Amino acid sequence: MKSFCLKFLLVLFAFCFVAGAIYQIYLRLTFNYETTIVRSDVMEKKAEGIGVIFKDELVLNFNEHSGIVKNNFSNGARVAAKSEVAKSYVTQDDILKLKQLDVLNKEINELNEAQNPGSLQDMNIKTINKQMNCKYYDLIKTLKNDNLDKIKETKDEITMLFNKRQILTNQVNDFNDTINKLTSEKNNIDKTISYRPKSIITPVSGYFVDYTDGYEDMCSLELADNFNAEKLNELYQECQKNCAKNNTGKVITNPQLLFKMVLPTKSVSDVRLGSECKIKFEEFGEEITAKLIKLDLNWDSEQSVVTFQIDVMTERLSSIRSSKAEVIFNTYRGIKVPKTAIRNNGEGAVGVYSLNNVSMKFKKVDILFEDENNVLCSSSSDDASAYLRDFDKIIVQGKDLYDNKPIR
């Protein structure tokens, strides 16, 4: 009897072992799920479209100035009312001679300053050597940054200190002979200049631009509200075709700019007025911060008009009239999940099925943002076991999914 029971138990054990092995093989052969490991990521709510910049501008009258016009400021530079923004010259030769005069005058002034007793009274060799070492160090840094204007400025400062050092060490008594030679050279050049340049003055303060495009009156801030999506599209196309610029300068009199964009209605249906956005103009890669101040939604059309207020001025921005652009309305950070992985557990909860070593488990998600292919889920929750976490392995594609289903 005992022998029979022992044999029965051994057979039963063998049967269970074989059945378990067959079941594991079956599970492995039928594991037809596509999986991925989720990680924290960043997603942006953004849209692309075309737009036109509206700004208040005063055209400067250059017509009375014949010859060659040379600007004193770069585009976007701040200019004060009644300041000289440019000069007009008759010939290129006069320009070169006047530049020579500027260089000679600067050298004469620097030499006079170097031998001025007043500028030397608080100086000694130790102080000058220390200042020269600092300037040499600045020059090396400036050379690495390739800043030509700063390089010249630092070089001039080193030359001034070197001249003062020569006076203090009695290497020279004064620079009068050199000053007299430079003055004579300056006077000779001065006699050969045929025409003195005329100044071009701005009557108002603002930001200088060295050309006009013909849309200064049409695209003023006052008229910005007159443009719907259709008119903006027409104006954009016209600006793109008529991109020729003339040499007449202008001043942007108001630092505030309005950028009116035509964007897909579905992409702006839930944006918030007053929110800060980032705008990337196709003209340049720089991001500009802007405030969304007006939203003209047209539910009967695929296009709507969005107005942004820009309160900064840059050289490139001052030169733009129309451009394609990308707007970033918001940036979200969380766990990025493919949309195909999002499921409903039949009890109204939204989540995904994650995998451990032996089974699948339904984990809830709080969706922060979604696009066509992915959703971004919150990574913070008091119940870590019930919610999706960083580096969880989830099922992206598969059938017959349910909580606690064995997979091994």
In a domain, 405, yes or no: no
In a domain, 126, yes or no: yes
Report the pLDDT value the prediction gives residue 249, as an integer from 0 to 100. 86
Give the span between the Cα atoms of 199 and 86, in whole angstroms. 6
Instruction: Using CA atoms of 294, 298, 303, 305 in order, give the dihedral in degrees to the nearest 10.
Output: -20
In a domain, 238, yes or no: yes
Angular region, 16: left φ>0, alpha ψ -120 to 50, beta rest:
alpha
- Spans of the chain, pLDDT less than 50: 27, 29
Number of folded domains that form the chain: 3
Scanning 146-218, the segments in alpha helix (DSSP H) are: 148-168, 176-192
**Which residue in 233, 255, 253 sits closest to 322, CA to CA?**
233
Tell me if residue 263 falls in helix, strand or coil: strand
Tokens describing residue 177: 């002979």
Same domain, 226 and 301: yes
Task: Render pLDDT for 303-354 as a digit per residue (tens, 0 to 9).
Answer: 999 999 999 998 889 989 999 999 999 999 999 999 999 998 878 899 999 9
Give the span between the Cα atoms of 136 and 129, in whole angstroms. 10
Task: Render pLDDT for 138-152 as a digit per residue (tens, 0 to 9).
Answer: 778 777 776 666 777
Q: Are 156 and 111 in contact (CB under 8 A)?
A: no
Q: Is 206 exposed, middle or buried (0-12, 13-18, 19+ CB in 10 A)?
A: buried
245-265 burial: b if 16+ Cβ within 10 Å, else e? eeebbbbbbeeebbbbbbbeb
Strands of 68-71's sheet, edge to edge? Answer: 68-71, 84-89, 198-201
Report the pLDDT value the prediction gives residue 8, as an integer from 0 to 100. 59
Which domain does 214 fall in, by range? Answer: 47-60+207-331
Give the span between the Cα atoms of 283 and 323, in whole angstroms. 7
Same domain, 194 and 231: no
Same domain, 142 and 211: no
DSSP state, residue 320 = -
Same domain, 315 and 230: yes
In a domain, 93, yes or no: yes
Tokens describing residue 121: 């009274």
Report the pLDDT value the prediction gives residue 357, as an integer from 0 to 100. 77
Determine what percent of the chain is predicted with pLDDT higher than 70. Answer: 87
Same domain, 152 and 222: no
Q: Which strand (E) or helix (H) includes residue 230?
A: helix 229-241
Same domain, 247 and 320: yes
